[in-house]
């Protein structure tokens, strides 16, 4: 069996990278004081906080060609991550730890990457491969906290600070990248962490950040199947 590179994984990675153009953070004047800073200072401060975080919960849904891709991931700095992704009706669980990435897919997912016959054999089983292996490399990048921060808070275009508002129950201020139309919302109370990124258009959607620095554990799944060994037999 030779797993095929899944365009779903590449597309999801690209959609998250679309969020890389979104920048800026802020805060209400009665809160943590970030709103009084310049956009560049706000962006730099938010990135420093996010880079230094121990953990975060990332979830959301993005569109591509009218098809939604959803994700729900828990990321642990310097360790890895775990969660679930769904695209085109094909879902899979993912764990990254100790230099390996593990996936356990739905029957539809396994059929897509390996064919119907192999899907029957793989059902309910975890697949294992080194982090940089083929189509799993894009999955691994999504479960790496440092890489996610670098792709969602990079250099930016012209920023426009918006009004203070509330997003997912959190008081925030909006900053829009006028070159992309994307908006980043950052907490105006407590540490000014990113709370949500929203994007419009055909590839629109949202990415929500929550649970910064909350306790989190990640463990290796039981009895995984080594993909590299399967490939060497075929």
User: What's the pLDDT tens digit per position in 35-44?
Assistant: 877 777 777 7
Q: Which residues pair with 68 in a beta bridge?
A: 63
Backbone angles phi, psi at 82, to 5 degrees: -150, 155
Contact predicate 114/3, CB 8 Å: yes
Helix (H) or strand (E) holding 127: strand 127-130
- Of 160, 186, 225, nearest to 48 by C-alpha is 186
Domains in the chain, ordered, with CATH?
7-232 (2.50.20.20)
Q: Hunting for tokens 């990457």 — which residue is that?
A: 113
pLDDT tens string 176-230: 888 777 788 888 899 999 898 887 776 678 889 999 999 999 999 999 998 876 5
Q: Which of 27-36, 46-55, 111-120, 150-159 has the highest mean pLDDT?
A: 46-55
Q: Given a cut of 70, is residue 154 above it in pLDDT?
A: no
Q: Hunting for tokens 């479960």 — which residue is that?
A: 143
Q: Order of strands, edge to edge, in the sheet holding 80-87?
A: 159-167, 170-177, 183-187, 194-199, 205-210, 55-64, 67-76, 80-87, 90-97, 100-105, 127-130, 225-226
Q: Which residue has the higher pLDDT, 133 or 30?
A: 133
The stretch 88-104 carries a mean pLDDT of 90
* pLDDT for the residue 23: 31
Q: Indicate the pTM of the whole model.
A: 0.79
Helix (H) or strand (E) holding 72: strand 67-76
Contact predicate 79/218, CB 8 Å: yes
The stretch 16-31 carries a mean pLDDT of 39
């Amino acid at each position: 069996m030779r797993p095929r590179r899944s365009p779903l994984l590449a597309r999801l990675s690209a959609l998250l990278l679309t969020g890389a153009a979104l920048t800026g953070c802020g805060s209400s004047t009665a809160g943590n004081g970030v709103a009084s800073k310049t956009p560049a200072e706000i962006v730099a401060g938010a990135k420093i906080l996010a880079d230094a975080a121990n953990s975060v919960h990332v979830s959301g849904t993005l569109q591509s060609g009218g098809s939604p891709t959803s994700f729900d991931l828990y990321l642990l700095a310097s360790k890895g991550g775990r969660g679930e992704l769904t695209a085109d009706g094909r879902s899979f669980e993912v764990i990254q730890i100790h230099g390996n990435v593990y996936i356990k897919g739905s029957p539809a997912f396994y059929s897509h990457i390996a064919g119907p016959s192999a899907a029957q054999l793989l059902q309910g089983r975890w697949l294992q491969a080194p982090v940089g292996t083929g189509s799993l490399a894009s999955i691994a990048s999504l479960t790496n906290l440092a890489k996610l921060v670098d792709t969602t808070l990079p250099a930016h275009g012209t920023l426009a600070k918006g009004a203070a508002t509330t997003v997912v129950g959190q008081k925030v201020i909006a900053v829009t990248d006028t070159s992309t139309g994307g908006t980043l919302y950052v907490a105006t109370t407590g540490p000014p962490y990113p709370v949500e990124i929203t994007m419009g258009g055909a590839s629109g959607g949202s990415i929500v950040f929550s649970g910064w620095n909350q306790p989190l554990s990640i463990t290796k799944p039981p009895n995984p199947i080594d993909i590299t060994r399967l490939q060497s037999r075929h």
